[in-house]
A and B are shown apart, each in its own frame.
Chain A
Amino acid sequence: QKEVEQNSGPLSVPEGAIASLNCTYSDRGSQSFFWYRQYSGKSPEWIMSIYSNGDKEDGRFTAQLNKASQYVSLLIRDSQPSDSATYLCAVPRNNNDMRFGAGTRLTVKP
């Protein structure tokens, strides 16, 4: 089992819709979870962190964490074409180095 798994997509949503990106992880001891966005040909940029069960909102982005199910998700409300990118879920391993999922490619169609 991979340490961090994501549906590679591509995920396509119309402009203005909610995009839902999902991630599962294998280490039950993980305490923190991160979402990154990577535009084609660019480096990953940090979007959000979440540490506690439940929802965390930041603008149009909401991160959701369920430690019992080892599941973390990212919701993007009112999706815009500029949100089209690959979204990477990251989980520190052994509370140290960051391990990334393969990423989900999101396309928002005007």
Chain B
Amino acid sequence: NAGVMQNPRHLVRRRGQEARLRCSPMKGHSHVYWYRQLPEEGLKFMVYLQKENIIDESGMPKERFSAEFPKEGPSILRIQQVVRGDSAAYFCASSPPWRMNTEAFFGQGTRLTVV
């Protein structure tokens, strides 16, 4: 049973380009969470999704950032017109639907560098 898979592991983008980060949850997991971590800082919640639904996006910047979790395929975090301040590690976590308040398991993260 593969764990949470994120790709790419490293992504370099020039300012103004788009960044697309992908997350495939663990098998059987239908809850996906995205977090951002700046160097030497803690995890900042961005968005919580279930299949085809955004449950809580209160941590997402109002502009340039969007997330989706389609019925088929991975969850996508999209950052349009990237700026240097977007450089960070972006982690995805997933949890199963049949237990509330269960622990979530993390992918290896995507390290975005904006040059």
State the A residues within 8 Å of B (CB).
Answer: 31-32, 34, 36, 42-46, 49, 51, 88, 92-103
Chain B min CB distance to A43 (Å): 4
Among residues of A, the one whose C-beta sits closest to the C-beta of B43 is A100
* Across the A-B interface, the 5 shortest Cβ-Cβ residue pairs: A102-B42, A97-B48, A32-B101, A100-B43, A43-B106
In the complex, the answer to whether B45 meets A97 with C-beta atoms within 8 Å is yes
Chain A contacts for B91, CB-based, 8 A = 43-44
**Known contacts A96-B48, A96-B56, A100-B35, A44 near B101 by CB under 8 Å:** no
State the B residues within 8 Å of A (CB).
Answer: 33, 35, 41-43, 45, 48, 55-56, 91, 93, 100-109
Chain A contacts for B105, CB-based, 8 A = 46
In the complex, the answer to whether B100 meets A98 with C-beta atoms within 8 Å is no
**Known contacts A98-B33, A98-B93, A49 near B103 by CB under 8 Å:** yes
In whole angstroms, what is the CA distance A51 to B102 when docked?
10
Among residues of A, the one whose C-beta sits closest to the C-beta of B107 is A43
In the complex, the answer to whether A43 meets B103 with C-beta atoms within 8 Å is no
Among residues of B, the one whose C-beta sits closest to the C-beta of A6 is B42
Q: List 20 A-B contacts (CB under 8 A).
A: A36-B106, A42-B108, A43-B108, A43-B109, A44-B91, A45-B106, A46-B103, A49-B102, A88-B43, A94-B56, A95-B101, A97-B55, A98-B45, A98-B93, A99-B45, A100-B35, A100-B43, A101-B42, A102-B42, A103-B42
